[in-house]
Amino acid sequence: MTDSTAKGASQLGGADLFDLSMIRKYDKAGPRYTSYPTAPMFHAGVGALDYASTLKRVADDDAPLSLYIHIPFCNTVCYYCGCNKIVTKQYDHAAPYLELLLKEIDQVATAMGNCKRPVTQLHFGGGTPTFMSNDQMRAIMNKLRQCFNFVAKDEGEFSIEIDPRECDEDTVSVLQEIGLNRMSMGVQDFDPIVQKAVNRIQSKEETMRVLLEARQHGFESMNIDLMYGLPHQTVETFDRTLNTIIDFSPDRIALFNYAHLPHMFMPQRRIDEASIPTPQEKLNILEHSINKLLKAGYIFIGMDHFAKPDDELTIAQQQGKLYRNFQGYSTQADCDLIGFGVTSIGYVGGGFFQNHREMDAYAQEVENGEFSVFRGYVLSDEDHLRRQVIMRLMCDFALEYAQFESEFGIDFKEHFADGLSDLKEMSEDNLVELREDGLTVLPAGRLLIRNVAMTFDEYLQKKKEGTSFSKVI
Ligand SMILES: C[S@@+](CC[C@H](N)C(=O)[O-])C[C@H]1O[C@@H](n2cnc3c(N)ncnc32)[C@H](O)[C@@H]1O
Ligand code: SF4
């Protein structure tokens, strides 16, 4: 990494990052690259038998392991939501799901034998993981600890997504007791009109209560999710939300661009499209938010993420040790990720494996003692190379060609002649600096990092896909 790359991020102001004419010019849909190849490339040719043999093959590797547990349930539906969730007020759905999870954990552990690989990373995602009761959360963790070899709490990243509305007084202490040390909270917007329009009524007080409790219980790196582009939002209304959040002072803030894809997510059809801010108003909100967060001392990490200068994400980026996976940015090195639960995706032994997305299908396979994988993707050598290139771009905003040439035995400029030629226009627009030995994404190109990554995506280049992805800004 050169000094002009991520290291310089701390000195940047909003005006360096936000170039309206360039954002307009390069405005198009693109993947978020939490995986490469992206999920639309997964296919049914990879299934449960491949998963079983892959788990067995990697069981004795030395590298650390990461675990992901998907809890799909939510008590109410937020109309904007694009997550994999099941909306229900019936908490008794949690008990049979717990049984399935415990069974699936046993199945994986059996396939891997007595696996000693250190688990350095665990993430509970959803839906809303705390839909499960405190005892049910304890049961999941007990089972995981019986089956896997967890490193000490202060040596790993053990996290959970929290909806503060679904978090009673005991919940935070139980989450701490079972060994979790990171938390991410959904907020989106505190404005009452916006909250009503998206059916997510959440007070500042209950959000602050959970944040304070988490700090008291020693949780590190608290994150808050915000969203711009929601109905009725204006610069003025969102400014008030930002003021509150800055007062709360979370270590990290994710500022997501609302992806409005009503053909894919039914609840979004309940959002009145006339109330969604115009593209220009959205950009005004984004520009204002970036300026405000940077002024408040946050660093732009990449994509939609901001962190305090002393947060481990910022430090990892400065050291060139930042990674990206399905949960977004991470400080834990790229490693095998085992997914549990309906819809979950794992990355094991150089391949992706996804569980059934329908609860009935997932349940049936697990009850039969089978793995529930219904599709996946085994990476070729070329995929691994491109996955690495896209990962380093998203994390470092730079590439050093020599690193890939020695690791993959290629001549970078020859191998990626097409991609580099596609980047010439961005280079002429001062978004990217192309050199003999590498490239650097310049400050005004950072918000357009997906556009840069897309030039290295073999499948987008071949098929010119992209219609089901959200807009890059
Ligand atoms: C699984 S949810 C968070 C946990 C919890 N269920 C909650 O809502 O508080 C993950 C995050 O995804 C983001 N998200 C959901 N739908 C989105 C959409 N359509 N576009 C952009 N971001 C979205 C929201 O910021 C949300 O907080
Ligand atoms: S944003 Fe969170 S609580 Fe709302 S529907 Fe989506 S997953 Fe459920």
E strand or H helix that includes residue 182: strand 182-188
Q: What is the mean pLDDT of residues 328-357?
A: 95
Q: How far is CA 298 from CA 13, 280, 289, 309, in A?
A: 10, 24, 11, 7
Which of 256, 264, 327 for mutating ligand 1's site (highest number of atoms within 8 Å of CB)?
A: 256
Nearest CA residue ID for atom 21, ligand 1: 258
Across all residues in the chain, what is the average pLDDT?
A: 94
Most ligand 1 atoms within 8 A of CB, residue of 75, 161, 201 to mutate: 161
Which sign does the torsion angle of CA 392, 396, 401, 402 carry?
A: negative
Q: What is the pLDDT of residue 291?
A: 94
Listed as own residue / partner, the contacts of 37-42 with beta carbons closer than 8 Å and 24 or more positions apart are 37/352, 37/377, 37/379, 37/383, 37/387, 37/457, 37/458, 37/459, 38/457, 38/459, 39/345, 39/352, 39/354, 40/465, 40/468, 41/377, 41/459, 42/352, 42/354, 42/375, 42/376, 42/377
Distance 73 CA to ligand 2 centre (A): 9
Given a cut of 70, is residue 45 above it in pLDDT?
Answer: yes
| CB neighbour list of residue 311: distance below 8 Å, 6 or more residues apart | 221, 251, 252
Report how far ligand 1's centroid is from the alpha carbon of 82 (Å).
7
Q: Which ligand is nearest to the CA of 162?
A: 1
Instruction: For residue 178, report the distance from its CA to the centre of ligand 1, in Å.
Output: 24
How sure is the predictor about 11, in pLDDT bands with cuts at 50, 70 and 90? low
Q: Helical H runs in 192-341?
A: 192-198, 204-216, 235-248, 279-295, 312-318
Tell me the CA–centroid distance for residue 105 and ligand 2, in Å. 25
In ligand 2, the atom with minimum distance to the C-alpha of 85 is: 7
Write the DSSP symbol of residue 379: P
Please report the pLDDT score of residue 466 as a whole number. 46
Q: Is the pLDDT of residue 1 over 80?
A: no
**Quick check: CB of 183 below 6 Å from ligand 1?**
no
Residue 179 Cα to ligand 1 middle (Å): 24
For residue 467, pLDDT over 50 is answered with: no
- Answer yes or no: is the C-beta of 228 below 6 A from any ligand 1 atom: no
Kindly state the average pLDDT of the residues 394-417.
97
pLDDT of residue 114: 84
Residue 6 has pLDDT above 50, yes or no: no
CA of 71 to the centre of ligand 1 (A): 14
More confident of the two residues 369 and 333 = 369
Query: Which of 80, 85, 184, 198 for mutating ligand 2's site (highest number of atoms within 8 Å of CB)?
Result: 85
Binned at pLDDT 50, 70 and 90, residue 280 comes out as very high
Atom number in ligand 2 closest to CA 82 = 6
Banded model confidence at residue 27, pLDDT cuts 50, 70, 90: confident
Dihedral sign (CA 225, 229, 235, 238) = negative
Q: What pLDDT, in 10s, does the model give residues 123-161? A: 999 999 999 999 999 999 999 999 999 999 999 999 999
Distance 127 CA to ligand 2 centre (A): 6
Please check whether residue 195 is in contact with residue 235, taking contact to mean a CB–CB distance below 8 angstroms.
Answer: no
The span from the CA of 213 to the CA of 207, in Å, is 10
Whose C-alpha lies nearest to ligand 2, atom 7?
Answer: 127
State which of 75, 130, 227 you would mutate to test the pocket of ligand 1, scoring each by most atoms of that ligand within 8 A of its C-beta.
227
What are residue 435's phi and psi, to 5 degrees?
Answer: -120, 175
pTM exceeds 0.85 for this model: yes
pLDDT at residue 463 greater than cutoff 70: no
- pLDDT of 3 higher than 60: no
Binned at pLDDT 50, 70 and 90, residue 7 comes out as very low
**What value does the mean pLDDT take over residues 225-233?**
98
Q: Are strands 398-400 and 438-441 parallel, antiparallel or unpaired?
A: antiparallel
- pLDDT confidence of residue 350: 97
For residue 41, what is the DSSP state? G
Joined tokens for residue 181: 């040390």
- Which ligand gives the minimal distance to the CA of 77? 2
What are the pocket residues of ligand 2 if the criterion is a CB atom closer than 6 Å to any ligand atom?
Answer: 74, 77-78, 81, 83, 85, 126-128, 163, 186
Give the chain's length: 473
- Cα(364) to ligand 2 centroid in Å equals 26
Q: Which ligand is nearest to the CA of 267?
A: 2
Q: Whose CA is nearest to atom 4 of ligand 2?
A: 78
Measured from the CB, is residue 161 less than 6 Å from ligand 1?
yes
Residue 4 has pLDDT above 60, yes or no: no
| Contacts of 323-328 spanning 24+ positions with Cβ under 8 A | 323/391, 323/395, 324/33, 324/34, 324/391, 324/394, 324/395, 325/34, 325/35, 325/66, 326/34, 326/35, 326/68, 327/34, 327/68, 327/123, 327/125, 327/159, 328/34, 328/254, 328/303
Distance CA 156, CA 432 (A): 35
Backbone angles phi, psi at 120, to 5 degrees: -105, -5
Closest atom of ligand 1 to CA, residue 166: 9
d(CA 58, CA 46): 17
DSSP class of residue 231 equals T
Decide the pairing of beta strands 157-162 and 149-150: unpaired
User: Which numbered atom of ligand 2 lies nearest the CA of 163?
Assistant: 3
Pocket lining: 80 vs ligand 1, CB cutoff 6 Å: yes
The pLDDT tens digits for 55-92 are 999 999 999 999 999 999 999 999 999 999 999 999 99
Q: Which residues contact 424 (CB under 8 A, 6 or more apart)?
A: 434
Instruction: Report CA Rg, the chain.
Output: 22
243 alpha-carbon distance from chain centroid: 25
Q: Whose CA is nearest to atom 6 of ligand 2?
A: 81
- Residue 159's contacts (CB-CB under 8 Å, 6 or more residues apart) are 122, 123, 124, 180, 181, 182, 183, 184, 327
Identify the pLDDT of residue 5: 43
Q: Whose alpha carbon is nearest atom 6 of ligand 1?
A: 128
